[in-house]
């Protein structure tokens, strides 16, 4: 029976004992395998960082981690000295996000990192992969979380805009993943107008575009006249929803794109 005794859960990460590597460690280590770019998984300061090219680009944007990086494509296997094979597979969570398949001593172990199984136009879809042991986490895994269809939520957002042509619809979104997903879903719904961004969201959106995710006409709120924002869709980090920044907007109707994207 598989027991994956060669993998240990430590408070600061998942330790692959035979190869002395860590998955998503919370403190600097000699060699880190990173599932994706969110700050609770990817941190700077490791000797060597192995991740997808997209995740490495996100980490470089956030932490300037250009040194000691080793990019691996989806489906590519890295043989770690000490005898563990590691393969990065799509996790469907954000751009570049991966599950790591680990093979050692005849056992196949998957560490999913964050993942989702719903389609997301901004990243590769989750790959179902057979394994003996699954190590996972689930932020919204409890049955109490009901995820309505994305199309329905985007429809509500667009209806709110149509019903209030003198106001703007302001959506709070995290900079990595949620912002680009909301934009891409608006485009998929046929919304052709410029989408206005808080400055804190701009660089990550540009990085997505560099990796081929088309987001259409994006503009900065700081470049807008107030009247241009009437009837517009505006995205900002959740922290900006109620701060001074939002006062420049024309009577915003606010919504929050959270884990299950419910538009109030």
Residues that bind Zn ion (CB under 5 A): 38, 114
In angstroms, how far is the first alpha carbon of the chain from the final one? 48
Query: Closer to Zn ion at the Cβ: 88 or 196?
Result: 88
Q: How far is the CB of 140 from Zn ion (least distance, A)?
A: 12
Question: Which of these, 126, 99, 95, lies nearest to 210 by C-alpha position?
Answer: 95
Query: Closer to Zn ion at the Cβ: 104 or 178?
Result: 178
Q: How far is the CB of 36 from Zn ion (least distance, A)?
A: 6
Q: How far is the CB of 16 from Zn ion (least distance, A)?
A: 21
Q: How far is the CB of 259 from Zn ion (least distance, A)?
A: 10
Question: Which of these, 261, 213, 214, 210, lies nearest to 238 by C-alpha position?
Answer: 261
Question: Which of these, 250, 79, 81, 66, lies nearest to 170 by C-alpha position?
Answer: 250
Query: Closer to Zn ion at the Cβ: 38 or 62?
Result: 38
Query: Closer to Zn ion at the Cβ: 36 or 167?
Result: 36
Q: How far is the CB of 103 from Zn ion (least distance, A)?
A: 24
Q: Cite the DSSP H helix spans in the chain.
A: 53-63, 150-163, 178-188, 202-210
**Is-contact 132 106, C-beta < 8 A?**
no
Q: How far is the CB of 258 from Zn ion (least distance, A)?
A: 13
Ranges assigned E (strand) in 112-250: 133-135, 169-172, 195-197, 218-220, 233-236
Strands 218-220, 195-197: parallel, antiparallel or unpaired by DSSP?
parallel
Longest dimension (CA), the chain: 66
Query: Closer to Zn ion at the Cβ: 84 or 201?
Result: 201
Query: Closer to Zn ion at the Cβ: 54 or 114?
Result: 114
List beta partners, residue 98: 90
């Amino acid at each position: 029976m598989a027991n994956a005794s060669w993998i240990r859960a430590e408070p600061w990460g998942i330790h692959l004992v035979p190869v002395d590597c860590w998955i998503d460690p919370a403190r600097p280590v000699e060699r880190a395998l990173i599932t994706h770019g969110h700050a609770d998984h990817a941190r700077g300061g490791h000797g060597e960082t192995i991740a997808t090219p997209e995740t490495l680009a996100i980490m470089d944007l956030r932490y300037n981690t250009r040194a000691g990086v080793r990019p691996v494509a989806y489906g590519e296997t890295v043989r770690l000295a000490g005898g563990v094979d590691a393969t990065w597979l799509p996790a469907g969570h954000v751009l570049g996000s991966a599950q790591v398949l680990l093979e050692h001593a005849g056992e196949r172990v998957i560490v999913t990192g964050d993942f989702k199984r719903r389609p997301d136009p901004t990243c590769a879809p989750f790959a179902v992969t057979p394994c003996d042991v699954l190590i996972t986490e689930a932020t919204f895994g409890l049955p109490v979380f009901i995820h309505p269809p994305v199309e329905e939520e985007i429809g509500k957002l667009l209806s709110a805009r149509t019903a209030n042509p003198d106001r703007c619809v302001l959506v709070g979104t995290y900079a990595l993943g949620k912002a680009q997903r909301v934009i891409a879903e608006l485009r998929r719904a046929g919304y052709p107008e410029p989408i206005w961004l808080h400055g804190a969201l701009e660089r990550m959106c540009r990085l997505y575009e560099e990796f081929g995710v088309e987001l259409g006409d994006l503009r900065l709120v700081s470049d807008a006249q107030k009247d241009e924002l009437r009837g517009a869709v505006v995205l900002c980090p959740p922290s900006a929803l109620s701060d001074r920044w939002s006062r420049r907007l024309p009577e915003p109707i606010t919504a929050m794109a959270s884990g299950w994207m419910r538009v109030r």
